[in-house]
Amino acid sequence: MSSANVKDQNQPRKEMKSTGLKKCFTALVDRKQVNLDIDVLNLMLKKELLINLDVLDKNLAEVLPVMLVMYMKTWPGWQRSKEYFSGKLNFKDWYEKFRQYIVVRLNYLIKNGYASVIEEMKREKKRDVDRLNPIKTYTEHGSQTDALAPKSFAPFSICINCPPSVVNSVVFGDSEDDIILRHHPELLWTNIDTMQLIHWPFIEVEFFTPELSFKRRNCFEYTRYINFTNIPLTYDKCEYIDQIEIIDPSNGRNCYTLNMLRCYVKEYMSILKSVKDIDVDVLKVGIILNQFLADIEEINMNNTMATNTSVVFNIGRSVFLRNKKISRASYTTKGPNNPVGYSEIIVPKVETSLIFFKGVQDLNTPEVSFSYLNIIKNCLKSNDVKSAINPIKPLIIYKCSFCQLNLKEEAAIIKHLQEVHKMDPNVICIKCKKSLSVCLLSSVRWKHICTTNPISLQQHSKQVPITLK
Ligand SMILES: [Zn+2]
Ligand SMILES: [Zn+2]
């Protein structure tokens, strides 16, 4: 704390030019009731915040005074009043942050038009409802957010619109009392195969033949926030099966055993393999089908799966995190010993959907086989193999749900990931804190077994080096 700060606080009002906004701020700091009429607010907008109301859309210009009041009330900086009253925060700087916040928020509305005001109002209404939630035991003084409120999260969220590669490289830190956002160099791409691709974040694959259609969607759950890196992360254990949904409620459902689906896939694959020179990558089709069967096994609903049904589950049953902070060497800080960083909690989730299955068992054969596949097999005995195989050739579509992109070629979707998303950074197991690559996890269905438990670490440290003489 410098002596200048103290002086400034003892006589803050004399030194400053009295303006409407500053008067309001001062009154709010002193927790006084503030009454403002529209004309005063409009004057503040025009003269102090330099907004030319006359050129704005009429609707927008009319609501700006209301929004100004709202931003004055909901400024997150009110939480620092404790610091101000204890002399750690300079009045002038605190006011400047307040003014800047209002300028930025109002300019955002002006740039994005009347619709953004409506959205903002809806959000504020929701926040009001949350505030009135009786579970929260703290009280508020007037319209201000109480600095002593027990909160695990700040009363605001940050929305960043950015290309997908930035999601993988953004990082937050602090510099003095500002939060800074940076973007670290993107990671080098490593080539991935079909197995990895269909377990890659945001990737969907749809499989379609006349008798079998399913979809797998990687819908990982990300919780991203800025926090103090010296505070340990807490995470409530998630449900293994998240949701089971009927895809089309107007349609019926049939239940099949995993065994029956396996038999069908086996016979189907043997037909594809028996045909030479077809323009189908049999190996890839096999991987996609087997991973779908592995989903049903992993979901473990009595080893059955119903058609017209989708299931969301925590594939691999692990939870991971990423902790990113800007290295202290790259910027200076005078702030307290609470370094700010950026954290992500990642729950790998897959939505697997059996859209339909129409395989009918052929009861005339000694082994389990299917009528339609047997018809195809008979047709293949004729000369024109290529046209005989045509009806059961699969249609496979890949999607990137982040970019809403559909592509038929595997190479094209990998290229999209490589060029637009770039490589995903490693994740850390929430239990054993081991760093693991997305390439590795995606090749093993996100399965990870913690190997370094505290006991083995202890044993390790007790080992005595042996010297050979
Ligand atoms: Zn994408
Ligand atoms: Zn682990």
304 near 255, Cβ under 8 Å? yes
| Rounded distance from Cα 205 to ligand 1 centre (Å) | 13
Q: Is 297 within 8 Å of 304 (Cβ atoms)?
A: no
Going from the Cα of 240 to the center of ligand 2, the distance in angstroms, rounded, reads: 17
**DSSP conformation class of 370:** B
134-179 tens-digit pLDDT: 443 333 333 333 333 334 566 667 777 788 888 888 888 777 777 7
Given a contact cutoff of 8 angstroms between Cβ atoms, the answer to whether 346 and 322 are in contact is: yes
Q: What is the model's pTM?
A: 0.66
CB 349, CB 221: distance < 8 Å: yes
User: What DSSP state is assigned to residue 361?
Assistant: B
Distance 318 CA to ligand 2 centre (A): 8
- List, as one string, the DSSP characters of 410-458: HHHHHHHIIIII-PPPPEEETTT--EE-HHHHHHTTT-------HHHHH
Q: How far is the CA of 453 from the centre of ligand 2 (A)?
A: 9
Query: How many Å lie between the centroid of ligand 2 and the Cα of residue 429?
Result: 5
Ligand number nearest to the C-alpha of 321? 2
Instruction: Tell me the two tokens of residue 185.
Output: 């160099």
Q: Of the bound ligands, which one is closest to the alpha carbon of residue 203? A: 1
Give distance in angstroms: CA of 209 to centre of ligand 2. 39
CB atoms near residue 469 (< 10 Å):
2
Residue of 296, 171, 274 lying closest to 229 (CA atoms): 171
Helix axes 91-112, 3-10, angle to 10 degrees: 80
Q: Does residue 321 contact residue 343 with C-beta atoms inside 8 Å?
A: yes
What is the 181 CA–ligand 1 centroid distance (Å)?
23
Ligand 2 centre and the CA of 437: distance in Å? 13
The answer to whether the beta carbons of residues 205 and 406 sit under 8 Å apart is no
Bridge partners of 44, per DSSP, are none
Distance 402 CA to ligand 1 centre (A): 5
* 315 C-alpha to ligand 2 centroid (Å): 15
The rounded Å distance from CA 202 to ligand 2 centre is 23
Per-residue pLDDT of the chain (469 residues; tens, 9 = 90+): 333 333 344 444 444 455 788 888 988 888 888 888 888 888 889 888 888 888 888 888 888 988 898 888 888 888 888 888 888 888 998 999 999 999 999 988 888 888 888 888 888 777 766 665 544 333 333 333 333 333 456 666 777 778 888 888 888 877 777 778 888 888 889 999 999 999 999 999 999 999 999 999 999 998 888 877 766 666 667 778 888 999 999 999 999 999 999 999 999 999 999 988 778 999 999 999 999 999 999 999 889 999 999 999 999 999 999 888 776 554 444 545 667 888 889 999 999 999 999 999 999 888 889 999 999 999 988 778 888 889 999 999 999 999 999 999 999 999 999 999 999 999 999 889 899 999 999 999 999 999 865 444 434 333 333 333 3
Name all contacts of 298-303 with Cβ < 8 Å and 24+ positions apart. Answer: 298/445, 299/241, 299/352, 303/257, 303/258, 303/259
Give the number of the ligand closest to the Cα of residue 165.
Answer: 1
**The pLDDT value given to residue 338:** 64
Distance 322 CA to ligand 2 centre (A): 13
331-334: Cβ within 8 A, 24+ apart: 331/173, 331/175, 331/180, 332/175, 333/174, 333/175, 333/176, 334/176
Closest ligand to 427 CA?
A: 2
What is d(CA 412, CA 102) in angstroms, rounded to the nearest whole number? 45
Nearest ligand for residue 168 CA: 1
Cα–ligand 2 centroid distance for 398 (angstroms): 31
Residue 418 Cα to ligand 1 midpoint, Å, equals 9
**407 CA distance to ligand 1 centroid (A)?**
11
What is the distance in A from the centroid of ligand 2 to the CA of 377? Answer: 48
For residue 318, give the ligand nearest its CA.
Answer: 2
Q: How far is the CA of 413 from the centre of ligand 1 (A)?
A: 8
Which residue in 286, 287, 281, 243 sits closest to 268, CA to CA?
286
Question: Distance, CA 325 to ligand 2 centroid (Å)?
Answer: 22
Ligand 1 center from residue 327 Cα (angstroms): 29
Length of the chain in residues, anyone? 469
Distance 203 CA to ligand 1 centre (A): 8
Alpha carbon of 90 to ligand 1 centroid (Å):
46
Q: CA 427 to CA 435: how far, in whole Å?
A: 6
Please report which ligand is nearest the Cα atom of 433.
2
